[in-house]
Amino acid sequence: MISEKKGVQQLIQYFKAWGVQHIVFSPGSRNAPLVVSFANDPFFQNYVVPDERSAAFFGLGIAEQIKAPVALICTSGSAVLNYAPAISEAYYRQIPLVVISADRPSEWIDQGDGQTIRQKGALANFVSIEIELLENPTSKDSFWHNECQMNEVAYRLNQPAKAPIHINFPFTEPLYGQQATQNLPHVRKVHFAQRSEALNLGDLRNLQEKWQLAKKKMIICGQMPKNGPLNQLLADLSKDVSVAVLIENTSNLSHTNFISCIDRTLNSIAEAHIEHYAPDLLITLGGAVVSKRIKAFLRKQDIAEHWKIGHEFQTMDTYQALTESIALSPLSFFRQFLQDFKLSPNSRFGARWKQLDFLVQDKHRFAFETLQYSDLTVFETLLDYVPENSVLHMANSSVVRYCQLFEPISSIRYYSNRGTSGIDGSSSTAVGASVGDPSHLHTLITGDISFFYDSNAFWNKHLQNNIRIIVINNGGGGIFKIIPGPNSTTQLADYFVAEQKLNAAGICSTFDINYYTAKSLADLDRLMPSFYTFQDNDRPALLEVFTQEVNNEEVLQAYFQKIKVVDAPLLLEEE
């Protein structure tokens, strides 16, 4: 059975043609024509998440795992506004979410009818297109109108740079009428030919010439999914000792030649030597970079060339030095750039970065012998226990920053909502990801404020036993004790840190999650094996680690002092 509304029938047919299978619903009544149609069709994988804000992040988590569009469907009124945080995250991460908001007929907007607001344009800043469909096309032209609108959606979904899409769908009553799935409207699917992924010869030779002239070459890799071929190309490129390749764990790249803990290494660059570590050619690829230090460092330098590689945000100028915007995937670019091109190192710039990085690595290993129990030492212990070939989700604020101080594990996939860097949907995204990728174990490390903020992440029937949640409970927003500024005010505790004495036990009881607690590194060593053992956890499991009695910010400051290569010499001179 399917809704008797012809516009809904068209939408169902188009979704099948596009291969959009995953649908996340939040309950309501105005979206009933959509509910009965998708729920009755075995082609679709449907999920029900009551809280729309959580539902949108849940869908985002699925989409980032399956690398395909996921639809979000809600009722009319304020429901669609609750999608905004996740849609903005998806926009800056290029994750294709398709919002379908049921609506009241346009004549009832602003007329005092229930659950009726101005829905048009509600997500306009964070979608590539918004369309509105006719619920009951009757003429050839009205059917054609819906076809044109939906083929526009298909075009956007086929672009290299993905972005969310908003489909607004006004419905009149009755809403629940159904018919058999016979004689459904025919859909005319437009095929969009693949665009060329290649530089023209003139641009290629120009870039290769600039590369040869540059002595100090730096490549910074932002957030991206794992890409083995790209990893290998960059590893080969890093053998050129004039090239420094800087990554973060969210880059999902790994090689011994890469600088993988940027802030650790920057911490040891002496003021007198800064110019020797500043590039004259900067190449950036991927999404957001976590390190605030590298952004501040590079913005102060006189960088002659900055090449931005990727289809997304062509004019984004993070380092205030953009000279070339190259609309190719990084893999396509480097494959073409390096083909029949002999690398000829003309400095030891990359080797200088790497040698300093090696010195800092040695100091990092010894630093933990004397550091007291704290957030930092907890991360050092926890990250050793995250299983190989699993997925690690990092909440924002201090969590993702602590994780950048430790070398990434090549078999682990790293994720974090770094599009907007908000704390509001970390748990929901991780839960959605564990549903979208049920064959792997997923670990979420989150702070207490982020966890409590998004506790509705666990309010659904789709939780599986392949997710582990670790909450670092330090009694508030610890990031505000670390960053400069808040601690200079008298409002630090109440207005910035938002100190609290809550725990997660009640939430775990409510949502049937196995609950563990730890208050020392010895507790962690004792608990972690059973925490990750599946026969002990037929439900999701949560470990709450308490560090409330520690001055975590002081321990972090002491760590950076311990790993600093004091008065580091200029290790390698120019050839």
- Which helix (H) or strand (E) is 101 found in, with range? strand 97-103
Q: 436 vs 162, 301, 431, CA distance in Å?
A: 19, 43, 9
Beta strand residue intervals within 22-62, DSSP E: 22-25, 45-48
- Where, residue-wise, is CATH 3.40.50.970 in the chain? 2-178, 368-561
| CATH numeric code, 368-561 | 3.40.50.970
Q: List, for residues 338-380, the tens digit of each pLDDT value.
A: 998 888 888 999 999 999 999 999 999 999 999 999 999 999 9
Q: List, for residues 163-209, the tens digit of each pLDDT value.
A: 999 999 999 999 999 999 888 888 888 888 877 789 999 999 999 99
Q: List, for residues 317-326, the tens digit of each pLDDT value.
A: 999 999 999 9
Q: Is 201-355 assigned to CATH 3.40.50.620? A: no
Q: How much is the pLDDT for 574?
A: 47
Q: How much is the pLDDT for 540?
A: 94
User: Is the CB of residue 316 less than 8 Å from the CB of residue 212?
Assistant: no
Q: How many Å separate Cα 197 from the centre of its chain?
A: 25
Decide: residue 270, CB within 10 A, 0-12 exposed, 13-18 middle, 19+ buried: middle
Q: List, for residues 413-424, the tens digit of each pLDDT value.
A: 999 999 999 999
Least confident of 72-76, 272-276, 390-394, 405-409: 272-276
**Whose CA is closest to 283, among 226, 227, 331, 245?**
245
Q: Is 2-178 assigned to CATH 3.40.50.150? A: no
